[in-house]
Structure 1
Amino acid sequence: MAGETPHFIVFANEKGGTGKSTTAVHSAVALAAAGRRVAAVDLDTRQRTLGRYLDNRAATIRRIGIDLPMPVYETFDPAKDDDLAGLLDRLAADADVVVIDTPGRDDPYARAAMLRADTLVTPINDSFVDLDLIGEVDAETYKVRRPSFYAELVWNSRTQRAKATGASVDWVVLRNRLQHVEAKNMRRVGAALVDLSRRVGFRVIPGLGERVIYRELFPKGLTLLDLAQIGEVGIAHIAARQELREMIAGFGLPAGVAEGERPRAAAVG
């Protein structure tokens, strides 16, 4: 993809606790493992989950002395330099794909990142609390009454991008699976999402489960693609790795972005 404009994947959700940063990290590493030149940007200066996760991964690479797929990454700090456009342009110059993790709140820099998105990913948990972010649901019928503020924000961002560049934005709602959700409620959430997707134009794909596993991997910066370094691997790890692979496939990225010829490990100083 040398000389071509990189594909921007922006993970955005104004609600915290949806697995957004975990999903962003695993996506960045998975694409690097597929041979892509990946740049990852953390816009959440407060939490800095993506940046800290990749810091831990870099430390593990140095400590063990092995090559692991590793994106180039930076954490944006507007207090030091508020030129987000400059940062993204610099990283994009040597990348096939740029993964951006935004904070779980309304933020001007997150809005600016959304205007760059080729693929916009909004992770939600399987609950009406999370669904309320993008659509208001009737309390008795569970039917969607109208899109919420965030859906309107995304619509406006997609419209602005189309006018400015002529490019379309693929909005993907990532439905993270919870293990202890009552089946009837899951069906109701699913039906409401299908209804809302037709009205505001997003796709729904399955996301990541097994959240305890992801929390255990964080201190070493490992992912489910690093089973050789994890140690004791169980069925839950294998199942979660398959979920990750299905999620990446569900993004429907252009040829040359989702698949590469060989894994690529970045040097860590």
Structure 2
Amino acid sequence: MAHIIVIGNEKGGAGKSTVSMHIATALARLGHRVGAIDLDLRQKSLARYLENRRKHLDEVGVDLPTPSYMDLPEIDEASLPPGEDPVAHRLTQAVAALKPVSDFIIIDCPGSHTRLAEVAHSLADTLVTPLNDSFVDFDLLAHIDSDGDRIIGPSVYSEMVWAARQQRAQAGLPAIDWVVLRNRLGVQQMVNKMKIERAIAALSKRIGFRIAPGFSERVVFRELFPRGLTLLDLKDIGVRQLNISNVAARQELRDLLKTLKLPGVEVKF
């Protein structure tokens, strides 16, 4: 059975597509069969990333491990049995098509609440939630007091994850391994940053998620997108000497994959 990794967060700009692409490509480079689905039907950032990759690799004549992408199939809603959700049907059909040919399926969710995102979360074996290191993003997980020291209660996204966990429990499926990824970290150890660190640690125990190291804010991620490349591809396209920032970013990706503890994955880059 393919292991389904959902990259989810109801807020835009948290780096979901960058995280999705790097996890998917890293797994492919480690020899795993990887399928990918983009649920942001408007922007389709992950789909564009993979399209850019295919075009660039064709142009330069290089063959690199690449995830297999699948669009959601179009369906005739009139042909569905009464009461069947057409949105859920489209996603489950795409997942069913990828499962026999994939070890892992990456599902990149939109930065908003949609029915597709709800269904995707209920399918997740591993849920990765990238979160910018700010209280604006933290508010997606929980409400806190004005000083940022006391958690008042869970917020909208946490409640959606809770509902997905209940659905899986009722269906007799394994629990979701939820990993919150502190992303776009700044280099300075500011008071606000330390408060967020304490708040996330406290909330992780309260609502049940693990904390993973994410990516620091780096220009290289924006530069790689037009060519569809990732940090792991640089040496293959002729970059023989990585700068300090690129080496550090590769280490961040290595640490992330180790923290995810995906079945059968041995991090060897």
TM-score using structure 1 length: 0.90
Q: Aligned match of 2:16 in 20, 24, 29?
A: 20
1:68 paired residue number = 64
Gap change, CA 1:176 and 1:230, over 3 Å in 2: farther
User: 1:192 is paired with a residue of what secondary structure?
Assistant: helix
Q: CA deviation at 1:145?
A: 0.9
Amino acid at match of 1:129: V
Q: Is residue 222–residue 230 contact of structure 1 (8 Å, CA) maintained in 2?
A: no
Query: How far apart in 2 are the matches of 1:157 and 1:31?
Result: 25
Deviations along 1:125-163, one digit per CA (max 9) or x if unpaired, are 110000000001110252111111211110110111121
Amino acid at match of 1:102: C
Query: How far apart in 1 are the matches of 2:250 and 2:256?
Result: 10
1:9 paired residue number = 5
Q: Aligned match of 1:43 in 28, 31, 39?
A: 39
Amino acid at match of 1:20: K
Gap change, CA 1:238 and 1:141, over 3 Å in 2: closer
Larger mean CA deviation between 163-172 and 96-105 belongs to 163-172
Amino acid at match of 1:239: A
Q: Is residue 175–residue 207 contact of structure 1 (8 Å, CA) maintained in 2?
A: yes
Q: CA deviation at 1:212?
A: 1.4
For the pair 1:219 / 2:226, whether they are aligned, the reply is yes
Gap change, CA 1:242 and 1:147, over 3 Å in 2: same
Amino acid at match of 2:192: N
Q: CA deviation at 1:195?
A: 1.0
| Alignment coverage as a number of residue pairs | 256
Q: CA deviation at 1:74?
A: 2.0
Query: How far apart in 2 are the matches of 1:107 and 1:19?
Result: 18
2:26 paired residue number = 30
User: 1:246 is paired with a residue of what secondary structure?
Assistant: helix
Q: Aligned match of 1:113 in 108, 112, 120?
A: 120
Gap change, CA 1:127 and 1:35, over 3 Å in 2: same
Gap change, CA 1:79 and 1:129, over 3 Å in 2: farther
Query: How far apart in 1 are the matches of 2:247 and 2:173?
Result: 41
Query: How far apart in 2 are the matches of 1:142 and 1:196?
Result: 11
Q: Is residue 73–residue 94 contact of structure 2 (8 Å, CA) maintained in 1?
A: no
TM-score using structure 2 length: 0.90
1:136 paired residue number = 143
Equivalences for residues 73-222 of structure 1 within 5 A: 73-76=69-72, 83-140=90-147, 142-179=149-186, 183-222=190-229
Gap change, CA 1:170 and 1:142, over 3 Å in 2: same
Query: How far apart in 2 are the matches of 1:121 and 1:68?
Result: 25
2:256 paired residue number = 247
Unpaired stretches in structure 1, ≥5 consecutive residues: 264-269
2:242 paired residue number = 233
Query: How far apart in 2 are the matches of 1:91 and 1:80?
Result: 21
Q: CA deviation at 1:63?
A: 1.0
Larger mean CA deviation between 30-39 and 83-92 belongs to 83-92
Q: CA deviation at 1:165?
A: 2.8
Q: CA deviation at 1:177?
A: 3.6
For the pair 1:57 / 2:66, whether they are aligned, the reply is no
Gap change, CA 1:80 and 1:129, over 3 Å in 2: farther
Query: How far apart in 1 are the matches of 2:224 and 2:40?
Result: 20
1:267 paired residue number = none
More helix by share: 2
User: 2:174 is paired with a residue of what secondary structure?
Assistant: coil
Amino acid at match of 1:42: D
Query: How far apart in 1 are the matches of 2:169 and 2:259?
Result: 23
Amino acid at match of 2:262: L
